[in-house]
Amino acid sequence: MFNPESLKLYFICGTTTCNGRNLLEVVEKAFAGGITLFQFREKGKGALEGKEKEDLAREIQKLCKNYNVPFIVNDDVELALKLNADGVHVGQEDSDVELIREKMPDAILGLSIGDELEYKSSNLSVIDYIGVGPIFSTISKDDAGKAIGYTGLKQIRELDKSLPIVAIGGISRDKIKPIMDTGVDGVSIISAISYADDIEKEVSLMLKQFN
């Protein structure tokens, strides 16, 4: 059962976005700090594939279970199925969301939305939440679209007040409060956590921004 409150502080990471650190150590520190959802996103130059990717995903999934944090796989539906992951997050071009829902009827299913046009052209009836952005320019995604800012985020929030929304893209601690003021359910963060000098402390400070 998907709980929209889990979107509050949503950490996304893989071996290519952890600043050269050991990913398992990065993730465990983030869990210790209090992240509420984790997405395994193994993409980009030098990303793991095949058995290496699967083995690492299994290790992270174990950590997620230890900390009672839902484990989401980015794009790789077959891996998500193989691991019986809690969910999968896909982009506009990645897959047919209806087909994914048929394959994973009880899983958390997230979809990336870059603007109002994508929102209106997407089948949201089978989606649990949407990831909207990039809100600001980002160093973590080579394929990210144009930044939509607070205004663009609020426009999409106004289209549907009930659909859970998590904001993504260039979000740092100081931007959390104004983003939450738009009425969304949470923030997705990559580099502001994975590149932090003290990951556990940074996550705990981020959580205080929601009060």
Q: Is there a binding annotation on residue 42?
A: yes
Both tokens of residue 198? 């003290």
Q: Is there a binding annotation on residue 75?
A: yes
Q: Is there a binding annotation on residue 128?
A: no
Q: Find the catalytic residue in 41, 175, 188, 194.
A: 41
Annotated active-site residue 121? The verdict is no
Q: Find the catalytic residue in 6, 8, 29, 141.
A: 141
Annotated active-site residue 141? The verdict is yes
Q: Is there a binding annotation on residue 190?
A: yes
Annotated active-site residue 204? The verdict is no
Q: Is there a binding annotation on residue 74?
A: yes
Q: Is there a binding annotation on residue 139?
A: yes
Q: Is there a binding annotation on residue 40?
A: yes
Q: Give the 3-state secondary structure of the chain.
A: CCCHHHHCEEEEECHHHCCCCCHHHHHHHHHHHCCCEEEECCCCCCCCCHHHHHHHHHHHHHHHHHHCCCEEEECCHHHHHHHCCCEEEECCCCCCHHHHHHHCCCCEEEEEECCHHHHHHCCCCCCCEEEECCCCCCCCCCCCCCCCHHHHHHHHHHHCCCCCEEEECCCCHHHHHHHHCCCCCEEEECHHHHCCCCHHHHHHHHHHCCC
Residues 6+ apart with CB under 8 A from 115: 145, 146, 148, 152, 156
Q: Find the catalytic residue in 112, 175, 188, 194.
A: 112
Q: Is there a binding annotation on residue 173?
A: no
Q: Is there a binding annotation on residue 162?
A: no
Q: Is there a binding annotation on residue 112?
A: yes
Q: Is there a binding annotation on residue 8?
A: no
Known binding residues: 39-43, 74-75, 94, 112, 138-141, 170, 190-191
| Positions marked catalytic | 41, 112, 141
Known binding residues for Mg(2+): 75, 94
